[in-house]
Amino acid sequence: SAAAAMAEAEDLVSVDYEVFGRVQGVFFRKYTQGEAKRLGLVGWVQNTSHGTVQGQIQGPAARVRELQEWLRKTGSPQSRISRAEFCNEKKITVLEHEDFQIRV
């Protein structure tokens, strides 16, 4: 598969994220899903009970970096990101998600 070929060519990483600011009720999850899919990444995104958006990203390291930068600076058009935090970064040998899902 193309995904397997891509995986062999580059290190796969997994990273958890949380985005703070005005990120709920502004289609942030939908835009994050769209951007992740455009980059060929898998994982998930969800709103938290304390007004943030959190999730996990997995894929080739360079693509993951691109989404991290997007989460830090861009987001959805109506969002106001104050900061994005990333943790639990690790190398993985196989993707643990089928696609990039919005969790509710």
Catalytic residue at 47?
A: yes
Q: Which of 22, 29, 38, 63 is catalytic?
A: 29
Catalytic residue at 38?
A: no
Strand partners, 60: 12
CA distance 101 to 99: 6
Q: Which of 47, 65, 83, 88 is catalytic?
A: 47
Helices then strands, each counted (H, E), the chain:
3, 5
Sorted by sequence, the CB contacts under 8 Å of residue 74 that are 6+ apart come out as 35, 81
What amino acid positions are annotated as catalytic residues? Answer: 29, 47
